[in-house]
A and B are shown apart, each in its own frame.
Chain A
Amino acid sequence: MVEAGEALLQRLRPLRFGLLLLSVLLLTQATSLGAAGVDQPAADQPAAQVLAPGWHELEYTPPEAGSYQLPPMGLAGDGRVLNTNGEETTLHALMGDKVVVLSFIYSSCSDANGCPLATHVLEKLQDQLLEDPSQGQGVRFISLSFDPVQDTPQVMQRYGRPYISGDFDWHFLTTSGQSDLLPILESYGQSVVRDPESEEGETGSISHILRVYIVDRQLRIRNIFSASYLHADTMLNDIRTLQMESQGQYTLQGPGDVKSGYGSGDYRTKAQSLEQRKGAPALLWTPDWKPPTGMPPIPVPAENPLTPEKIELGRLLFFDRRLSHNNTFSCAMCHIPEQGFTSNELATAVGIEGRTVRRNAPTIYNVAYLDRLFHDGRENSLEQQIWGPLLAHNEMGNPSVGLVIEQIKSVPGYPPRFELAFPGQPISMETVSEALASYQRVLVSGNSPFDRWYYGSEADAMTREQQDGFRLFTGKAGCSACHLVGEDWSLFTDNRMHNTGIGYQQSMSKTPASTVVQIAPGETITVRGDVVADASEPRPNDLGLYEITENPDDRWKYRTPSLRNVVLTAPYMHDGSLSSLEQVIDFYNRGGVDNELRDPLIRPLGLTAEEADQLVSFLQALTGDNVDRLVADAFTVPVGNTGSD
């Protein structure tokens, strides 16, 4: 505390130095201290003021981190902002990957219990967070000006630079003007009153209630601090509490019914509550949307330009179980948001009435970039692909296009939404597919640690092991021959069809003599093959691309999947037969499964165990930074059921 104070003085920032002097001179007077710190120009200050607690040591021991809950208080607002380089971004673009501490300030503000207090407390909090880098890296500060006239990006840069320690993630933002600012202030309930007496007009005095917000990774406001409450110690524990929550057992990246460790008799459940499966809507796309680092622009067909209305409509349709013949299946029942927009709980999908689907549900992340869809590559646009599952007898089971259209028309909420998204056009095969395609098209996920390391020149974004893994990926292991890495961006797929032997094995292998079946945590039994066979339907065959081309050379060829977010999309391969990345690396290390049509690129790799670990480690660096945000957004979508509007 003393050190921090000295450091503060030594930096001799004029404004803050003046405030410290002021603080020494201020006398006790109760009137101005309450829930609100009202910023006024220094000249208008009452003669005496009690300094807010944030300037001092906390007078009580803050409650222990993790010992309490911070109930969500609603969605943190979004809006267009400018960074210190003058580049436009959005608030939500700066939320979701970290816990965010957001305060509203203006650079000329000088009330000791106003903006300077907020900035001082944040600076102190920054120092405390930096003591534990692993914790500090998960936090971002945003100081947003509500004085766009005076606080240009350059002013904010000058104002903010002295506060930032090292590379701490602290953004000093402003807006291009009142039209962008006001909606933001409104969404945060920040009432700002300009002093009408001021001669300086727009640039003059600004009265506001000091509020600092803590926003979690699901973009929900979890605490609001005012002048009399704001303190670095309590905020630190709030942040730790949220980090324990998100780093602990409750995550948006994996099934809510966590089964890791189930092989052990000591297995402990970490089941998440469905009632608390609530998210926060995100701005998925805007007309000036720019791809995240490592991703190319979204290819959009000329006849189906993206619009927010289509995306919103497609999102509703995606989660509507009434789009299946018996109202039990939406797209999202197999492409489950928290399960990597696929299903982690099934090797191959199960469709309507429990009918067997031969293949693993593919992820929807970055599906916009695929020019061949389905594992056998039989479709070439999302708009066309959509009708495949809708009409497949063993997926959503609709007997006709017309029935789907009539079903959608019969839901009261849809006709007006279609009219908004497609003015003057009917609800039709085209508009349904255009809406669904639009939502899926914007589920873009990039800016992964790899991207920041490779394209963003952040040398520490990947660990040493991950960097070693990348060298193997593009070198000895030869992965990038199919999972392409580009100069400016990488899709990690060549969008082509290959025979690795895994399909061959499924078609040509004999029924195993026995199967090990897990029957409880840590408890398995070995079941004789004939017992399993008695309980099985005839196994449906799968010949891959051959089924489309009828070219015998195309037997057991399947599309190269992207590897982005691959840790989220287990189990792996077109048939979900490999349950972990370790098994996948092992499969390729052995050269896949030999057959006369095996792709020449598939060959024994001679990787050591350490190299295999490095590759797995690298694959873990391919998770996009917006996954939590996309999942939290998906959680807000009402599931369409019989009786829903």
Chain B
Amino acid sequence: MHKTTIHSSLRKSICFCASLLLTSIATLPSAALADETCMSPYMAKIVGQEDYVYVWTLGAEGIGDEQDKLVTVDVNPASPKYGKVVNSLSVGGRNEAHHSGLTDDRHYLWAGGLDTSKIFIFDVHSDPAKPKLHKIIDNFVKASGGVVGPHTTYALPGRMMITGLSNDKDHGGRTALVEYTNSGDYVATHWMPTDQDLGGAVKSGNLADGYGYDVRALPRRNVMITSSFTGWNNYMMNLGKLMGDAEAMKRFGNTVVIWDLHTRKPRKILDVPGAPLEIRCAWGPLNDYCFTTTALTSKIWLIYEDDDGEWQAKAVADIGDASKIPLPVDISISADDSLLWVDTWNDGMARLFDISDPFNPVEIQQNKIGAQINMLSQSWDGKRVYFTSSLLANWDKVDAPEGEDLQYFKSYTWDGEKLNHQFSIDFLAENLGLPHQMRFGAYSLYGKSHPDIAASAMPPTLIPSNDVMTNSGGR
């Protein structure tokens, strides 16, 4: 079942990228870079081993205190608490905890609730082992002019770009991007382009649905890219009921929008049918492309700038058998742009694609992680990969086949050929809830030493990662 051969071209590409990295960090203290590979290029990076993974966790009726919480897992193998939950911070209510994102300085973690539209801002820098609830934005809908469901919280310099999923008029999929300052003040609302108000954008095909989901930026191309999922009605509805509701099934996003990053104006709307979700942009300085996967049509799409400087969308690979609804969810690109992890929620598989030729991704292995799987985060060097299980409160499975885990946090190492299981935390058995998105924390970011690992304390260094990449080979 596990294919483990890695193409020679892939190896070459890894080596190429590694050499660039070495060049870039030559002037820095001798420590390996480690971080998620899917974060904002504006964001500071951890130097050294990540110490914690912050898991934004949904409360569930009948489980523990039934409310959403930020769960801190110790993931530093050198720590005496390695593999343990070291903190759990309940925030009150079930808000449909979903995605979270760090500010560019990594001092604060913004975690959104897709149902109540609250945004919880955690201070993760004062004590990385014990995040504090710093502020709650509870008037997001009012401030934004009716945007519901803050999803991606994406770091831009000094501010957060937040994608909405829905609106307070019909609970459908038309929505907007909403901009906040790092201190939590509302800045602006940028509505997703619709036929009635294209906002200056060009329709490349038939569609301008106004839906939203994820956002990523390619600063050196002055480009911001958004994808499109569905509105509150659908993401809050029981999944089986949804599949049986023909009208509701028509209300999924089918577009990716290319924006002018600087002016926040939509430039071009690309037809990408079947609910394109996570967007992961390549890191290589000449790689002007991003990947997304469509949840319903189960494909990998390449969003790329062609030789004429035009942005295009192309379906480049199938993910499993669409009729079995594998439901590709989170994806993660390796730092050298050679590998793409694709989690398929319904079958609990972590699939690995060789994307060294971005126009021809090839699936090279599948790993059964649990009864269902959603998010994954890998360290910058790709050697550690973490998985969680929950997708949406009313979409999650309620039963697991014998021997398969249902709601979990799992830690693996990746040795270049296979995943090696390190530890798991059963979030139901621990009465925590349904684990969703993961973000990394480390003392080294803030010039601090790990209190329990004196010997390996990192020098105080903060590296804006975008500079790292630019220095390593600018255009």
Contact = CB atoms under 8 A, between A and B. Distances in A.
Interface of A: 249-250, 255-257, 259, 262, 266-277, 321, 326-328, 333, 336, 338-339, 343-348, 350, 353-354, 356, 515, 517-521, 523, 525-527, 531-537, 571, 576, 579, 639, 641-644
A350 to B, nearest CB: 5
Contacts, number: 203
B93 interface: yes
A276 B197 CA distance: 8
Contact of A571 (B236, B247, B297): B247
Contacts of A353: 94, 96, 115, 236, 393
B371 to A, nearest CB: 10
Interface stretch (B31-39, B217-225, B237-245): B237-245
A257 B253 CA distance: 11
B93 A326 contact: yes
B325 interface: yes
A272 B142 CA distance: 21
A635 B138 CA distance: 24
Given A250-B196, A257-B170, A336-B169, 8 more contacts: A268-B207, A271-B208, A273-B194, A328-B117, A336-B170, A345-B233, A353-B393, A518-B246
B445 interface: no
Contacts of A270: 195
A345 B237 CA distance: 12
Contact of A262 (B245, B250, B274): B250
Interface string B154-168: 000000000000011
B373 to A, nearest CB: 15
Interface stretch (B6-14, B171-179, B353-361): B171-179
B207 A525 contact: no
B248 interface: yes
Interface in B49-95: 93-95
B241 to A, nearest CB: 6
Interface hub of B207, B241, B398 (most chain A Cβ within 10 A): B241
A242 to B, nearest CB: 15
Nearest to A263: B250
B237 A520 contact: no
A350 B176 CA distance: 23
Nearest to A639: B168
Interface string B6-44: 000000000000000000000000000000000000000
Contacts of A523: 273-274, 297
B251 interface: yes
A257 B209 contact: yes
Contacts of B138: 642-643
Interface hub of B116, B176, B246 (most chain A Cβ within 10 A): B246
A369 B249 CA distance: 34
18 contacts: A256-B170, A257-B172, A270-B195, A271-B210, A273-B196, A274-B167, A274-B194, A274-B210, A275-B191, A327-B116, A333-B171, A345-B172, A346-B247, A348-B245, A519-B322, A520-B273, A537-B398, A644-B142
Contacts of A535: 238-240, 243, 395, 397
A249 B399 CA distance: 45
Nearest to A533: B240
Contact of A525 (B191, B241, B250, B322): B322
A518 B148 CA distance: 25
Nearest to B118: A642
Interface in B83-119: 93-96, 115-117
Contacts of B174: 256-257, 271-272, 274
B274 A537 contact: no
DSSP class of A's interface residues: helix, strand, loop or mixed?
Answer: loop
A337 B208 CA distance: 23
A523 B139 CA distance: 39
A517 B297 CA distance: 11
A517 B195 contact: no
A354 B247 contact: no
Given A350-B236, A515-B243, A525-B323, A271 B250 contact: no
Interface in B358-372: none
Interface residues of B, number: 69
B146 interface: yes
B206 A267 contact: yes
Which 5 residue pairs spanning A and B have beta carbons closest together?
A536-B240, A354-B236, A643-B139, A273-B197, A520-B273
Contact of B250 (A250, A350, A518, A527): A518
Interface in B136-160: 138-139, 141-143, 145-146, 148
B394 interface: yes
B143 A643 contact: yes
A460 to B, nearest CB: 33
A327 B209 CA distance: 27
B238 A255 contact: no
Contacts of B395: 535
Contacts of B438: none
B293 interface: no
A272 B297 contact: no
Interface of B: 93-96, 115-117, 138-139, 141-143, 145-146, 148, 167-174, 176, 191, 194-197, 206-210, 232-233, 235-241, 243-252, 254, 273-274, 294, 296-297, 322-325, 393-395, 397-399
Contact of A346 (B95, B117, B245, B252): B245
Contacts of B247: 259, 344-347, 571, 576, 579
B206 A531 contact: no
B172 A517 contact: no
A546 B46 CA distance: 64
A532 B346 CA distance: 11
Nearest to B323: A525
A328 B115 contact: yes
Contacts of A350: 171, 233, 236-237
Contact of B194 (A271, A534, A536, A644): A271
Contacts of A534: 240, 397, 399
A639 B146 contact: yes
Nearest to B295: A519
A270 B250 CA distance: 13
B244 A255 contact: no
Contacts of A579: 246-247
B163 to A, nearest CB: 15
Given A268-B207, A270-B195, A520-B273, A536 B250 contact: no
Contacts of B296: 519-520
A343 B397 CA distance: 27
B251 A354 contact: no
Nearest to A267: B206
A376 B296 CA distance: 36
B210 A517 contact: no
A267 B206 CA distance: 7
Nearest to B93: A326
A345 B173 CA distance: 11
A205 to B, nearest CB: 48
Nearest to B397: A534
B240 A537 contact: yes
Nearest to A327: B116
Contacts of B399: 534
Contacts of B241: 348, 356, 536-537
Contacts of B294: 520
A27 to B, nearest CB: 50
B244 A515 contact: yes
Contacts of A576: 245, 247
Contacts of B210: 257, 271, 273-274
B416 to A, nearest CB: 35
A641 B116 contact: no
B206 A266 contact: yes
B242 to A, nearest CB: 8
A99 to B, nearest CB: 19
Contact of A354 (B143, B170, B173, B393): B393
A321 B206 contact: no
A500 B236 CA distance: 31
Nearest to B242: A535
A346 B196 contact: no
